[in-house]
Amino acid sequence: MKLAFVASPMPEAMEAARHLEERYGASSPEEADVIVALGGDGLMLQVLHRYMDGGRPIYGMHRGSVGFLMNDYEEDGLIDRIRQAERSIIHPLLMRVTDLEGEEHTALAINEVHMLRQTFQAAKLRVMVDGKVRLPELICDGILVATPAGSTAYNLSAHGPIIPIDAPMLALTPISPFRPRRWRGALLPNEAKIAIDVMEADKRPVNAVADHTEFRSVLRVEVQESHAHKAIMLFDHGHNLRERILAEQFGY
């Protein structure tokens, strides 16, 4: 089995990559059977984006800070662990953005798409689902759309629900809502088409972010799951992403 090792710039991750390459050899990501990511969740997201649609599974090992998407680090028996690993298929969100200049942009998100106010003034947003206005006016700091894989990240910090990895759902979660103050968000079918218009965009500018790709001063954001793209993640047997997300609900 040919392995490619991709490490974050953190010293412990770089050192781990050197040890593993000496022990198991190293191939380029284009030639490898499996790409091994060494770092934290941020590095894993970067690797998933970089090699999405390449057909090569990504096996992460924790050599960073947050490691929810990573397996435990262990140098021994790596080939056997990978061969016995369980696969999780992730379909990202496709974000389409129209900015104040009328320019259109697209980006993919594995965790979430979020919108956030740029100034001291709260954002005013109009929320539509499948072409129907669901909230004529949401005054808030922002809003996010999270995948099941991303439901335990920013979404959970914003008091959104945790979604089982195999549930065909998305979380629509407000960030610090002011009006309606009691609206806590919604669970939507994964086929839903979400559109969010920024009201008073000149006075109340808003940015839009798909994982780590950001666009400033947006006028409209459309979000839907993309089945044209997929990423493959590998998890140690018995510790797959489904189990991790389930366990997270009992870990407070």
Per residue in 42-63, pLDDT (tens digit) is 899 999 999 998 899 999 999 9
Asked whether the predicted pLDDT for residue 5 surpasses 70, the reply is yes
Distance separating alpha carbons of residues 146 and 158, to the nearest angstrom: 11
Is residue 78's pLDDT more than 90? yes
> Can you give the pLDDT at residue 144?
98
Tell me the pLDDT tens digit for each residue of 193-249: 999 999 999 999 999 999 989 999 999 999 999 999 999 999 988 777 777 777 777
The string over 156-193, giving b where at least 16 C-beta atoms fall within 10 Å of a residue's C-beta and e elsewhere, is bebebbbbebeeebbbbbbbbbeeeeeeebbebebebe
pLDDT at 252 over 60: no
- Count other Cβ atoms within 10 Å, centred on residue 24: 16
Give the mean pLDDT of 85-100.
Answer: 94
112: nearest Cα among 36, 51, 70, 163: 163
pLDDT in tens, 104-131: 999 999 999 999 999 999 999 999 999 9
The predicted model scores a pTM of: 0.85
pLDDT in tens, 130-143: 999 999 999 999 99
251: pLDDT strictly greater than 70: no
105, 99 Cβ separation under 8 angstroms: yes
The amino acid occupying position 8 is: S
The rounded percent of the chain whose pLDDT value lies above 70 is 99
Long-range contacts of 25-28 (CB under 8 A, 24+ apart): 27/2, 27/3, 28/4
Mean pLDDT of 186-197: 96
* β-pair partners for 35: 4, 58
What's the chain's average pLDDT? 92
Q: Is the dihedral of CA 224, 226, 230, 235 positive or negative?
A: positive
Strand, coil or helix: 42? helix
pLDDT, position 200: 95
pLDDT of residue 179: 93
Active centre residues (catalytic)? 41
DSSP per-residue letters across 50-68:
HHTTSS--EEEEE-SS--T
